[in-house]
Amino acid sequence: MAVLKPLTPMNARFRRRTPGAGRLLRLAAACAVPVALATCSEPSEQTIAYSRLKERIAAGQVREVRLSDYQVQATSTTAARKAGAPERWVATRVPGDDQLVSLLEAKHVQYDGFGGGAPRPNPVAVLVLLIVGAGILVAAWRMRRNSVRGVSPVGRMRVKDSHGASETSFDDVAGVDEAKEELEEIVHFLRTPEKFARLGARVPRGVLLVGPPGTGKTLLAKAVAGEAGVPFFSISGAEFVEVYVGVGASRVRKLFQQARAKGRAIIFIDELDAIGKTRSNSLTGANDEREQTLNQLLVEMDGFDPRSGIIVMAATNRPEILDPALLRPGRFDRQVLVDRPDPIGREAILRVHARNVRLDDDVDLAHIAQRTPGFVGADLANVLNEAALLAARADKPAVGMEELDAAIDRVVAGLEKKNRLVNEKERRIVAWHEAGHALVAESVPTAEPVKKVSIIPRGAAALGYTQQLAEDRLLMQEDELLDRLAVLLGGRAAEHIAFGKLSTGASNDLERATSLARRMVCEFGMSARVGPISIATPAAGRARGESEPWSDETAARVEREVQQILAAAFDRAVAILETQRASLDAVAERLLEFGSLHREELLRAMNAATPA
Ligand code: ADP
Ligand code: MG
Ligand code: ZN
**Which CATH number fits the domain that encloses residue 305?**
3.40.50.300
Residue after which a domain boundary falls, among 285, 305, 337: 337
Which ligand neighbours the alpha carbon of 436 most closely?
Answer: 3
Give bridge partners of residue 339 from the DSSP assignment: none
- Using DSSP's 3-state secondary structure scheme, residue 468 falls into strand
Considering 434, 442, 495, 561, which one is annotated as catalytic? 434
Residues 496 and 556 in one domain: yes
Residue after which a domain boundary falls, among 374, 393, 413: 413
Contact 381 CB / ligand 1 (< 6 Å): yes
- In angstroms, what is the span from residue 349 Cα to ligand 1's centroid? 9
Contact 212 CB / ligand 1 (< 6 Å): no
- Domain assignment present for residue 467? The answer is yes
Residues 233 and 281 in one domain: yes
- Domain assignment present for residue 27? The answer is yes
Residues 296 and 204 in one domain: yes
Contact 99 CB / ligand 1 (< 6 Å): no
- Domain assignment present for residue 488? The answer is yes
Domain hosting residue 539, numbered range: 424-609
pLDDT in the model for residue 531: 79
Q: Return the best residue to mutate from 167, 169, 219, 458 for the ligand 1 pocket (most ligand atoms within 8 A of CB).
A: 219
Query: Is there a catalytic annotation at residue 434?
Result: yes
Give the CATH number, domain containing residue 518. Answer: 1.20.58.760
Residues 279 and 364 in one domain: no
Give the CATH number, domain containing residue 57. Answer: 3.30.720.210
Could you give the CA distance from residue 210 to residue 313 in angstroms, rounded to a whole number?
Answer: 11
Residues 176 and 67 in one domain: no
Total of domains in the chain: 5
- Domain assignment present for residue 2? The answer is no
- Residue nearest ligand 1's atom 5 by CA: 216
pLDDT in the model for residue 562: 92
Contact 218 CB / ligand 1 (< 6 Å): yes
pLDDT in the model for residue 581: 95
pLDDT in the model for residue 117: 45
Residues 436 and 406 in one domain: no
- In angstroms, what is the span from residue 309 Cα to ligand 1's centroid? 26
- Residue nearest ligand 1's atom 7 by CA: 218
Which atom of ligand 1 is closest in space to residue 173's alpha carbon?
Answer: 24
- Domain assignment present for residue 418? The answer is no
- Domain assignment present for residue 402? The answer is yes
Residues 24 and 99 in one domain: no
User: Phi/psi of residue 65, each to 5°?
Assistant: -135, 140
Residues 193 and 333 in one domain: yes
Which ligand neighbours the alpha carbon of 216 most closely?
Answer: 1
H-only helix segments in 322-394:
343-354, 365-370, 377-393
- Domain assignment present for residue 155? The answer is no
Pick from 1, 3, 12: nearest CA to 235: 3
Contact 354 CB / ligand 1 (< 6 Å): no
- In angstroms, what is the span from residue 221 Cα to ligand 1's centroid? 11
CB burial string 76-104: b at 16+ within 10 A, e below: bbeebeeeebbebbbbebeeeeebbebbb
Which residues have CB under 8 Å from 473's CB, separation 6+?
Answer: 280
Residues 165 and 289 in one domain: yes
Chunked mean pLDDT (size 10), the chain, 612 residues = 30 35 41 35 68 83 81 83 81 75 80 62 67 63 40 27 66 94 91 83 86 93 94 83 68 89 91 76 56 87 81 90 86 90 93 93 91 89 93 92 89 62 76 95 91 70 67 75 94 94 79 88 82 66 53 82 94 96 95 86 87 59
pLDDT in the model for residue 83: 75
- The Cβ of residue 573 has, within 10 Å, a number of other Cβ atoms equal to 28
pTM: 0.49
Cα–Cα separations (whole angstroms), residue 285 to 58, 323, 340, 519, 541: 18, 17, 38, 18, 17
- Domain assignment present for residue 255? The answer is yes
Pick from 368, 362, 347, 339: nearest CA to 182: 339
- In angstroms, what is the span from residue 215 Cα to ligand 1's centroid? 5
- In angstroms, what is the span from residue 274 Cα to ligand 2's centroid? 13
Contact 214 CB / ligand 1 (< 6 Å): yes
- In angstroms, what is the span from residue 216 Cα to ligand 2's centroid? 7
Distance of CA 491 to the CA centre of its chain: 27
Contact 368 CB / ligand 1 (< 6 Å): no
Angle subtended at Cα 478 by Cα 472 and Cα 483, rounded to the nearest 5 degrees: 75
Residue after which a domain boundary falls, among 337, 362, 380: 337
Could you give the CA distance from residue 580 to residue 180 in angstroms, rounded to a whole number?
Answer: 39
Which ligand neighbours the alpha carbon of 378 most closely?
Answer: 1
Could you give the CA distance from residue 418 to residue 440 in angstroms, rounded to a whole number?
Answer: 32
Residues 355 and 500 in one domain: no
Residues 487 and 473 in one domain: yes
Residues 435 and 289 in one domain: no
pLDDT in the model for residue 541: 47
Contact 272 CB / ligand 1 (< 6 Å): no
